[in-house]
Structure 1
């Protein structure tokens, strides 16, 4: 596991540069989850480190396979200096621990909710998991292990999350695109959903 996390951190550093801060959170009965912060070009990027140490297991499986199954880390990008976004460290760690705690398999198109604002004053309590491969390439591991995917998180307002439950992730992303929504704006309001 430690070898996998070392490879994951190396991949993050090669794609995003040197982290300028890191925090670690441990929840009862789970492995340690770290969140790394990368700043530059007017953006702040947060990346989890620890979620990929073990594969995510189907919650209905009798025994979890220690090698096979999807592996992922989470990425969140916001514009710097507009809001106190460093408070997102704990909610990100909670989301990254959810496969261990809740037996959740995190995949593109999923909604994840932390039940409180992602940071102080944030209009977002949940995120949409987007497709990997844009910012950080998948990290291939030795067979039979699946690659580590770096899943971008897109903050959603309560109205957007409710609309997504009815219409689906692709429809919400189309609305955002059609309206020119800046998904990196930590202060943005909900997109018009009419």
Structure 2
């Protein structure tokens, strides 16, 4: 995890003093850290700890402890657009999904938390996409750690993704000029 942390700090040009962190713990799992990095008018929330073990098929009898995809999450929001109380817990739940539920994080995955992502937010699910963060190469034979961009979505938008697909929702956001980094944004008119 220190190698992943170092790559994050290098990417954002910060050191430990420039990063806030919270820890989320689930019974039977190592803690998942949520890093908060402010750069300009954006706040980046990154998980650290979900990639300790590779993600794998939960139906397999023996999981490979070294090989398999490894993933972490990054959510970027506009700074100062309101309170995000409870967001660290929600990101921890999403990051723990591979270990708890056997979910494999991948682009265009829709993950539903069935409650507001943070206090008062209209978003109850997230859509994963590619991240600007480069993969973190680990020593062989481990697969690299990949970060996935997390975009909060409303229940209506999540339904749209289930029916039309992730690209259709992204196109609707683009056509409507919706800033998906705005935590106070409304849902796309679908």
TM-score, normalising length from structure 2?
Answer: 0.94
2:2 to 2, 6, 9: 6
- Give 1:108's aligned residue: 107
What is the aligned-residue RMSD (CA, Å)? 1.1
Aligned residue for 2:164? 167
Deviations along 1:9-41, one digit per CA (max 9) or x if unpaired, are 001111122343111111011111000000121
> Structure 1 residue 143: deviation in Å?
2.4
**1:184 corresponds to:** 181
Aligned to 2:19: 20
* Equivalent residue, structure 2, for 1:150: 147
Please tell me whether the aligned partners of residues 70 and 145 of structure 2 are also in contact (alpha carbons under 8 angstroms): yes
| Superposition deviation, residue 174 in structure 1 | 1.5
TM-score by length of 1: 0.93
Q: Name whichever of 12-21 and 168-177 sits farther off.
A: 12-21
The Cα offsets for residues 77-119 of structure 1, whole Å up to 9 and x where unpaired, read as 0011111124200000011111111111111110111111111
Stretch of structure 1 that moved more, 173-182 or 87-96: 173-182
Distance in 2 separating the partners of 1:162 and 1:42:
30
Q: Equivalences for 1:1-194 in 2 at 5 Å? A: 5-16=1-12, 17-18=14-15, 19-132=18-131, 134=132, 136-193=133-190
Q: State the shift of 1:144 in Å.
A: 2.1
Question: Separation in 1 of the partners of 2:103 and 2:78?
Answer: 29
Structure 1 unaligned blocks of 5 or more: none
SS at match of 2:86: helix
**Structure 2 segments unaligned to the other structure (5+ residues):** none
Equivalent pairs, count: 187
Give secondary structure in 2 for the equivalent of 1:186.
coil
